[in-house]
Chains A and B, each alone.
Chain A
Amino acid sequence: MLDQEPKIVAFLCNWCSYAGADLAGTGRIQYPPNVRVIRVPCSGRVDPLMILKCLQRGADGVLVSGCHPGDCHYIAGNYLARRKFALLDELLDFYGIEKGRVHFSWVSAAEGEKFADVVKQVTETVKALGEPAKLVR
């Protein structure tokens, strides 16, 4: 268990999850303040290397969130991202890096509630994993 509050980098798609986070805010929905949001044009923009770099440079966890399948502003960005993320997930697991450090979610612009839930869940998982040691520089 981590004594400090974990830092979680969240890559949020501009067209959905970012707006979802905004909605959670305007709707005054409470969620843990652990996420540091980076707005990206699409979940397909997130290079797995960016995720790894975050973990290396001190993030306790990473969340990538995009539009639901079928809803991507660029039609297939999230479908293509899903393949990359599935492989990254598999690679990290095989390598022996804790499963719970990296998370993916689909959150639409209308799902403020879901965004808050995702952040809660991710924060708890990351907290439970304790101090990251494996990739940190």
Chain B
Amino acid sequence: MNKMAGSSMGEDTIGAIQEGIRNSAARMLESGEIDVFIGYEDGTLPLRTTPVFITCPEDAERLVWSPICENSLTCYLPKFQGTVGVVVKGCDVRTLVNLILENQVSRDKVKIVGVPCKGIIDRDRVGKALGTDRIIRSAKATRRSLMLEGDGFEVEMEIQDVLAPSCEVCRYPVPVLFDVLVGNESMARDGKDPEAGYLEVAQFAELEPDARFSFFAQEIERCIQCYACRQACPLCYCPECFVDRQSPKWISRWRGLSDKILFHLGRVLHVAGRCVDCGACRRACPVGIDLRLLTKNMEKAAKDLFDYESGLDIGGVPLLATYRREDPDDFIL
């Protein structure tokens, strides 16, 4: 297969990162500095990887790395008692910084294995590019391309054409905090300017308010309130989420649109000033609601109003746990 020749160098980078992850995991487990290592292994379906919890060094061989490694593994950290090693991408580690700031994870209980990230793929985009009626039997990803095989077809796609929307505008592909960085910074994609990420939000804000409302109403109408978005978000760790509370009952699951909207507004407010646009919520949504527009707008608001970017500074204070006297006041009577 000639098509694959061009990507061999890329494959090596992925291979090197994967090797690095395996070695770090094995070493940390052997020395006893961690109790468990959380990484990715191949999933049972093509184009899927799945989180894996490794406790003995020999099993480190199961760990994989590729642009299909999408889950934010930091999700699991608040639940662990012992010391954990974890693989993080640029966005993931920013959620971890927030978890540390919010006292959900203690810095000395986590060994961070950072990956200089090239971006991950978006399965919706792959589906669109491929045509939804085709069943993928096997998939192989290299640094630059994705090879898909199914009944009677063989397709190669450029990773950058099916990149997750968050990755396209990612500002910090190299983890801002780590104990070990596998590979080196030059293996990551280039960080984008914040304004690039806010373009879509700014354009949307130009629409008439009623048009904005109808857009969201139409999107959110499709929500089945499965709460997978919350489940996938590393920052949604509340032992009892407001949607599950019975008294007071904030959100009902059978009341229709208005309750769905309230859920979405509530969730967005809860991640305001914390969300790092990792995109996990959007990828988790089974009906493909564009959750990013709302969270991204809050991110922009945090920047515009308070000059705050979330998840960068382990010595900082969460946005809503502090204030400045000169914070915006002009909206108050």
Contacts and interface: CB of A to CB of B under 8 A. Distances in A.
Nearest to A63: B333
Contact of B320 (A80, A89, A103): A80
A95 B262 contact: no
A80 B321 CA distance: 7
Interface residues of B, number: 45
Contact of B258 (A70, A93, A118, A135): A135
A91 B250 contact: no
Chain A at the B interface: SS class: helix
Contacts of A87: 269, 272-273, 298, 301-302, 305, 320
A56 B262 contact: yes
Interface stretch (A6-14, A25-33, A45-53): A45-53
B226 interface: no
Contact of A52 (B265, B323, B331): B265
A80 to B, nearest CB: 6
Contacts of A136: 258
Contact of A91 (B213, B214, B269): B269
A118 B261 CA distance: 29
B4 interface: no
A96 B211 CA distance: 7
Interface in B235-293: 242, 250, 255-256, 258-259, 261-262, 265-266, 268-269, 272-273
A69 B213 CA distance: 33
Contacts of B327: 79, 82-83, 86
B323 A49 contact: no
B319 interface: yes
Most buried by B among A49, A84, A106: A49
Interface string A60-85: 00000000011000001001101111
Interface string B208-219: 111111111000
Contacts of B205: 94
Interface in A84-131: 84-98, 103-106, 118, 121-122
Contacts of A70: 325
Contacts of B294: 91, 94-95
Nearest to A90: B301
A52 B262 contact: yes
Contacts of B269: 48-49, 84, 87-88, 91
Contact of A79 (B208, B259, B302, B323): B323
A95 B213 contact: yes
Nearest to B266: A49
Contacts of B259: 56, 137
Given A49-B250, A91-B298, A82 B261 contact: no
Contacts of A79: 323, 325, 327
Nearest to A66: B332
B131 interface: no
Contact of B305 (A56, A86, A95, A122): A86
A92 B17 CA distance: 43
A8 to B, nearest CB: 13
A94 B320 CA distance: 20
Contacts of B331: 85-86, 89, 104
B297 A94 contact: yes
A128 B328 CA distance: 26
For the complex of A and B, the 5 pairs showing the least CB-CB separation, nearest first, are A96-B213, A96-B212, A79-B323, A105-B333, A96-B209
27 contacts: A48-B269, A49-B242, A49-B269, A52-B262, A52-B265, A56-B259, A83-B323, A83-B327, A84-B269, A86-B301, A86-B331, A87-B301, A88-B269, A90-B298, A91-B265, A91-B297, A92-B265, A95-B212, A96-B209, A96-B213, A103-B333, A105-B332, A118-B333, A122-B333, A135-B258, A137-B256, A137-B258
Given A87-B301, A137-B255, 15 more contacts: A49-B266, A53-B262, A83-B320, A85-B332, A86-B301, A87-B269, A90-B305, A94-B212, A95-B265, A95-B294, A96-B210, A97-B209, A103-B333, A105-B332, A106-B332
